[in-house]
């Protein structure tokens, strides 16, 4: 492994062998309809709490990914996962039943590329052959932790985003065929003082711009597609503006998972989707298939996270943003 600037170059092959995605019913009716491996009929999935439903999604995503590829635990070296809930409950409780060496991480909505980036470094360092990365989010469990009770009758702000109900598991390996992770740029915390918890896109956009511009400068690669995690309409517009001002417009090849997973004009999600499950399910169901089908050859995939704490917000703190980039090539 080498470095260019602060970007890690993955020297040996780290191959994304397969993915498995589970989406909620609202997500399953959106623009990516028919692309997910599994779509839930309701938000409880025969469990008695939303939290149990979320950990069941993570567990099932990993189990079905293993079954799909005839993988057994003996061949998997590591499970890296994370989610939005306090004490990363869904991840740890799902791992309880998966019986794999487990690293739990917290990166808010940036978790998908955080886990995949860590997995890639561990494989490239020669410490593991097969790693499974998984993350999830659930609209109801996230709402009750971060905002208000679901049955509370009020209006959401127009800049607010809709937490995606979904989970995706990704299998990374040092052998086989598939798209390869070539570069990893971990983000710096960037906080430009946004305190509005209803405008996460604006809070995360500067971090996305910072990581993307550092990655593009470090690698000099001309990507076919650049995708951020969950900036939504607001954050996406800000990132475009920032690159335009540098005379390095990326608008023609740039999109955001928050505006891919939902039809923001028809599905009443205001500024778009968010949550760990947003970039995870869009990557697993849509972007990965584009790479497999050679529709794109070079993808810059960047999950974005608002490291927001309701307690800190009440104490007057602003929202720190982060974004981790993966340069993926066929």
Partner 1 sequence: MKYNKNNYKKVVDEFTPKNKILKNCLMAFIFGGTICLIGEIINDSFVGWLGISDDEASPMTSVVLVGLSAVLTGLGWYDKLGKIGGAGMVVPITGFANSVVSPALEYKREGFILGTAANIFKLAGPVLLFGYFSSFIVGLLSMLFK
Query: Rule CB under 8 A: which residues touch partner 1?
Result: 48-49, 144, 148-159, 190, 192-194, 199, 202, 206, 209-210, 233-234, 237-238, 241-242, 245, 271, 318
CA distance 101 to 98: 9
Query: From the CB of 242, what's the least distance to partner 1, in Å?
Result: 8
- Provide the b/e sequence for 116-141 (b: ≥16 CB within 10 Å): bbbbbbbbbeeebebbbbbbbbbbbb
Query: From the CB of 69, what's the least distance to partner 1, in Å?
Result: 35
Q: Which is nearer to partner 1, 48 or 74 (CB)?
A: 48
User: Between β-strands 78-83 and 38-39, what pairing exists: parallel, antiparallel or unpaired?
Assistant: unpaired
CA distance 121 to 203: 28
Residue 321 neighbours by CB distance under 10 Å: 34
Query: From the CB of 135, what's the least distance to partner 1, in Å?
Result: 23
Q: Which is nearer to partner 1, 243 or 283 (CB)?
A: 243
Nearest to 172 by CA among 62, 321, 96: 62
Q: Are 85 and 78 in contact (CB under 8 A)?
A: no
What 3-state class would DSSP assign to 112?
helix
Q: Which is nearer to partner 1, 107 or 201 (CB)?
A: 201
Q: Are 181 and 116 in contact (CB under 8 A)?
A: yes
Q: Which is nearer to partner 1, 209 or 286 (CB)?
A: 209
CA distance 130 to 122: 10
- Provide the b/e sequence for 210-226 (b: ≥16 CB within 10 Å): bbbbbbbebbeeebbbb
Q: Which is nearer to partner 1, 1 or 158 (CB)?
A: 158
Query: From the CB of 322, what's the least distance to partner 1, in Å?
Result: 14
Query: From the CB of 272, what's the least distance to partner 1, in Å?
Result: 12
Query: From the CB of 217, what's the least distance to partner 1, in Å?
Result: 13
Query: From the CB of 191, what's the least distance to partner 1, in Å?
Result: 8
Q: Which is nearer to partner 1, 182 or 233 (CB)?
A: 233
Q: Which is nearer to partner 1, 153 or 220 (CB)?
A: 153
């Amino acid at each position: 492994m080498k470095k260019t600037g602060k970007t890690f170059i993955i020297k040996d092959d780290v191959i994304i062998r397969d993915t498995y995605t589970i989406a909620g019913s609202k997500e399953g009716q959106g623009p990516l309809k028919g692309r997910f491996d599994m779509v839930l009929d309701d938000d409880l999935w025969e469990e008695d709490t939303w939290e149990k439903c979320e950990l069941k999604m993570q567990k099932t995503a990993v189990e079905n990914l293993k079954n799909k590829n005839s993988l057994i635990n003996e061949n998997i070296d590591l499970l890296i996962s994370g989610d939005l809930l306090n004490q990363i409950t869904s991840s740890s409780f799902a791992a309880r039943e998966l019986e794999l060496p487990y690293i739990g991480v917290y990166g808010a909505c940036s978790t998908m590329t955080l886990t995949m980036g860590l997995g890639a470094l561990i494989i490239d360092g020669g410490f593991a052959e097969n790693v499974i990365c998984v993350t999830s989010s659930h609209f109801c469990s996230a709402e009750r932790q971060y905002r208000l009770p679901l049955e509370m009758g009020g209006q959401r702000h127009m800049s607010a985003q809709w937490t995606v109900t979904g989970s995706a598991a990704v299998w990374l390996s040092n052998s086989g065929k598939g798209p390869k992770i070539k570069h990893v740029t971990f983000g710096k915390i960037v906080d430009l003082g946004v305190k509005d918890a209803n405008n996460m896109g604006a809070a995360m956009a500067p971090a996305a711009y910072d990581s993307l511009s550092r990655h593009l400068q470090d690698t000099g690669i001309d990507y076919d597609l650049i995708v951020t995690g969950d900036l939504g309409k607001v954050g996406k517009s800000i990132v475009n503006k920032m690159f335009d001002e540098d005379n390095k417009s990326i608008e023609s090849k740039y999109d955001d998972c928050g505006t891919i997973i939902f039809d923001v004009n028809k599905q009443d999600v205001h500024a778009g989707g968010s949550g760990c499950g947003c970039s995870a399910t869009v990557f697993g169901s849509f972007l990965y298939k584009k790479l497999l089908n050679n529709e794109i050859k070079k993808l810059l995939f960047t999950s974005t996270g608002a490291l927001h704490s309701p307690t800190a917000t009440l104490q007057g703190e602003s929202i720190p943003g982060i974004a981790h980039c993966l340069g993926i090539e066929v």
